């Protein structure tokens, strides 16, 4: 077991309502909040050896939150949640937060699963898989 410190910076693009989200470690809900331009989350979590997931779920986007021009070729206004930075045990993951991520949409019939996605443009879950011991995983993914 290891006790890891997580520091997560979320930012948002918005014009009407504020994005709401949940943060999980595996199936444990860590936080439910909203991101009005910028939200910092910092917490400790005890991690057993093995596979784990950091998940960030965008909850409240509707089709009305994305406004397009008349011929639907350009987005004029949108609501998005951005995974801007992740630190684990004071180590900035940098591009690892992007290269090791997957975005799973809430409605897979409407949207496809995306690899290397840190900009949540529709409801779904950003997933960063990692293993413990954390430092071995980090060295393998640098």
pLDDT reading at 109 higher than 90: no
Amino acid 17: pLDDT: 92
Q: What is the pLDDT of residues 20-38, one digit of tens each?
A: 999 999 999 999 999 999 9
pLDDT reading at 110 higher than 90: no
For residue 8, count other CB atoms closer than 10 A to its CB. 22
Amino acid 93: pLDDT: 97
Q: What is the pLDDT of residues 90-103, one digit of tens each?
A: 999 999 999 999 99
What domain range is 61 assigned to?
Answer: 2-141
Taking only Cα atoms into account, the Rg of the chain, rounded to an integer number of angstroms, comes to 16
The CATH number for 115's domain is 2.60.60.40
Q: How many domains does the chain have?
A: 1
**What is the Cβ-side half-sphere exposure of residue 5, based on CA atoms within 13 angstroms?**
7
Question: Averaged over 8-20, what is the pLDDT?
Answer: 95
Express as a percent the part of the chain with pLDDT over 70: 100
């Amino acid at each position: 077991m290891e006790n890891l410190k997580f520091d997560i910076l979320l930012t948002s693009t918005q014009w009407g309502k504020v994005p709401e989200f949940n943060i999980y470690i595996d199936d444990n809900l860590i936080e439910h909040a909203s991101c009005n331009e910028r939200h910092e989350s910092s917490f400790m979590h005890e991690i057993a050896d093995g596979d784990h997931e950091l998940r960030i779920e965008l909850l409240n986007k509707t089709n009305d939150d994305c406004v397009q021009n008349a011929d639907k070729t350009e987005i004029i206004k949108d609501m998005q949640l951005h995974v801007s930075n992740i630190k684990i045990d004071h180590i900035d993951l940098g591009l690892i937060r992007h290269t090791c991520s997957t975005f799973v949409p809430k409605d897979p019939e409407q949207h496809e699963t995306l690899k290397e996605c840190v900009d949540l443009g529709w409801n779904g879950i950003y997933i960063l898989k990692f293993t413990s011991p954390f430092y071995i995983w980090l060295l393998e993914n640098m």
